[in-house]
Amino acid sequence: MNRIERIKATIAKQDVDRLPISIWGHYSDVDQDPRALAETQVELVKKYDYDFIKLMPFGNYSVQDWGARIKIYCDKHEEPIVEDYGIKSIDDWKKLEVLPATYGTWGKTLQMAQRTSALVKGEIPFVQTLFSPLTIAAKLAGPRLMTDLKENPEAVHQALKVITETNKNFIKANIEAGVSGFFFATQNASAKVNSLEIFKEFGVPYDTEMINSYCDETYFNVTHAHGDDLYFEEVCKYNNNVINWHDRHTPPTLAEAKKLTDKCFLGGINEVPYFVGKVLQYKSMMATSTPEEMEKHVHEAIEMVGKTGLIVGPGCVTDPRTEEANYFAVRRAVENYKY
């Protein structure tokens, strides 16, 4: 099977020659240059014979054009951070304007997808990273978001509509660029971040509008539920056909999730990024295990799901300290497993 056939069959829960796999992380030394970032990711997938590319624009690409000041290190071990928020007052929410897909950092991220498409020539599936509108609002406003949600919900709803429309412009342009689908990340489907009531009012409607704008146009669409204490059953209702979460770190396990949803899973490798202040740290199997331990770790994940319906990958971004041997080990693990 080729990569596209393998991904499509796995999503459909059909038999495959082997389970598909890919690994991704932040590439902070090159992620300000769309051409360099595209080339880096394509080279990685080809080098390790992985099955798809999860495009990795820097995590704050969606807020820079609305006034957030970003500190950029251009260092593979230091990801760009929000140095100053774009929303300082309730009136700032009302000033957000719908942006075209070619504007500013959105445009650079689109260029990265276009360059990737030209490089893979239709032979390697690749998915563009999207952030949910409420996630973007949190990155824009920081701690004041929760206060504004309660005290001025109309202003936040207005801003979320603008953010959603901007994302829809971006989605359309990425489909035209040839993406196979989207990796839709929500950092708000968590009881540690907000209540279920807030998530249902300020998250779900806008998430649904975004996802419905592409789910019938592309074949490889992932929901990434980030964090602990997830509203897992809520995000399983989204019209994406694949779901990814920190399955080796927070409930449900892959085995438990099989009882909750019939979606295809993307995961099995325990990679958990977390912030200490504004510095990103990792709880990482990839960076701390031997190749033999990594192969066993992947095989344990496969045992929980079976030979269909699992795309092997990290629960979130991979620690950049990972040695080359483990990139090879996880690929070897899906090849050597006795299906």
pLDDT per residue as tens digits for the range 313-329: 999 999 999 999 999 99
Question: With bands split at pLDDT 50, 70 and 90, how would you rate the model's confidence at 276?
Answer: confident
Q: CB-based contacts of 55: which residues, under 8 Å, 6+ apart? A: 41, 112, 113, 116, 126, 127, 128, 129, 179, 183
Alpha-carbon distance 173 to 177, whole Å? 6
Question: With bands split at pLDDT 50, 70 and 90, how would you rate the model's confidence at 181?
Answer: very high
Is the pLDDT at 81 greater than 90, yes or no? yes
Look at residue 275 in the predicted model and tell me its pLDDT: 83
- In this prediction, residues 227-256 reach a mean pLDDT of 98
Of the chain, the percentage scoring pLDDT greater than 90 comes to: 97
- In this prediction, residues 19-45 reach a mean pLDDT of 98
Other beta carbons less than 10 A from residue 97's beta carbon: 10
Nearest to 73, CA basis, from 320, 324, 327, 326: 320
Look at residue 278 in the predicted model and tell me its pLDDT: 76
Is the pLDDT at 235 greater than 80, yes or no? yes
> Taking each helix axis from N to C terminus, what angle separates 153-177 and 144-151, rounded to the nearest 10 degrees?
120
What domains, with CATH codes, occur in the chain? Answer: 3-336 (3.20.20.210)
Question: With bands split at pLDDT 50, 70 and 90, how would you rate the model's confidence at 130?
Answer: very high
- In this prediction, residues 238-253 reach a mean pLDDT of 98
Contact 270, 326 (CB under 8 A): no
Contact 190, 226 (CB under 8 A): yes
Look at residue 57 in the predicted model and tell me its pLDDT: 98
Look at residue 297 in the predicted model and tell me its pLDDT: 98
Look at residue 239 in the predicted model and tell me its pLDDT: 98
Question: With bands split at pLDDT 50, 70 and 90, how would you rate the model's confidence at 203?
Answer: very high
Main-chain phi, psi angles of 70, to 5 degrees: -105, 130
Look at residue 279 in the predicted model and tell me its pLDDT: 79
Contact 229, 191 (CB under 8 A): yes
Look at residue 280 in the predicted model and tell me its pLDDT: 86
Look at residue 200 in the predicted model and tell me its pLDDT: 98
- In this prediction, residues 156-178 reach a mean pLDDT of 98
Contact 7, 220 (CB under 8 A): yes
Is the pLDDT at 277 greater than 90, yes or no? no
Whole-model pTM: value is: 0.98
